[in-house]
Amino acid sequence: MRPHAWVVGASGGLGRATVEALVASGRFEQVVAVSRQRPAGEVTDSAQTAVRYRLCDHSEQQIAQLADSEKDSLAHTTHLVICNGILHRPELQPEKRLEQWSWDAMAQVMAVNLGVPLGYLQQLLPRLPSKAHTSLPTYQFGVVAVLSARVGSIGDNGLGGWYSYRASKAALNMALQTAAVEWGRRNPSLKLMAFHPGTVETPLSEPFRTNLAPGQLRQPSEVAQGLVALMGRQRPDGQLSYLDWRGDTIPW
């Protein structure tokens, strides 16, 4: 049996492209695509890989039910990508000044950018294979990639602004590093990475593209293919790797 891959947040632009990239690699028997609602255009099976869509509202209850119902697939999953994130909504915009910050906005952004990834990690990580307990004949290690952002870096913050979004990504990075340390002990064959995709042509970045330098806006397919390749170069070390789309390390 060949391994499985999972993509959480599969209906977004980058999530869908990641499903496509995993299928195109031909390495996986199945790709499980999780989203709140079915995407307008679903990725279809290839000759080598089946795609299965699962709906989940990202609540604790439904995440737990999903993980329990998919325990057999998770036991064969070597690649997990979590793509959920929020930057803006019609009623929610990144703060340019401290006076624009509010508890409500912070709570919404933290719930999606920190709470949802942690909710999935809580339920999925214990069910992923390890070298000691797996029926995959060629299993060596697994890789978990969670979409973070460069603006979550404290050392790289020279512009200011975006209080809630920056704080949510910095908190996510800390939570992921904490999980990496814990799971380095519990499953030493597992590697965690926080991934900064750059500015991708998706609805998330649409209001913020006006001042981009030429070549700075990337297509979802390009970033997704790079992410899958980057995951293949990782090795378990009990630490979180904080990497951008080029594979360069981002300062904390």
Superfamily of domain 4-244: NAD(P)-binding Rossmann-like Domain (3.40.50.720)
Residue 29 and residue 34: Cα distance in Å, rounded?
A: 16
- Better-scored residue on pLDDT, 200 or 37: 37
| Structure tokens that stand for 6 in this block | 């999972």
pLDDT of 205 above 90:
no
Provide mean pLDDT across the span 100-119: 96
pLDDT digits (tens, 9 = 90+) for 146-178: 999 999 999 998 899 999 999 999 999 999 999
Please name the residue ranges forming H helices in the chain. Answer: 13-25, 60-69, 71-74, 103-110, 116-124, 163-186, 220-232
pTM for the full predicted model? 0.94
Provide mean pLDDT across the span 90-110: 92
Is the separation of the CB atoms in 106 and 167 below 8 Å? yes
Res. 145 pLDDT band, cuts 50 70 90: very high
The dihedral over CA atoms of 172, 91, 58, 162, expressed in degrees to the nearest 10, equals: -10
pLDDT score, position 137: 84
pLDDT score, position 136: 87
pLDDT score, position 210: 64
Exposure of 103 in the CB half-sphere (CA atoms within 13 A): 0
Is the separation of the CB atoms in 170 and 154 below 8 Å? yes
Res. 67 pLDDT band, cuts 50 70 90: very high
pLDDT score, position 110: 97
pLDDT digits (tens, 9 = 90+) for 123-133: 999 999 998 78
Alpha carbon 227 to its chain's center: 10
Res. 216 pLDDT band, cuts 50 70 90: confident
Res. 206 pLDDT band, cuts 50 70 90: low
Residue 180 and residue 193: Cα distance in Å, rounded?
A: 9
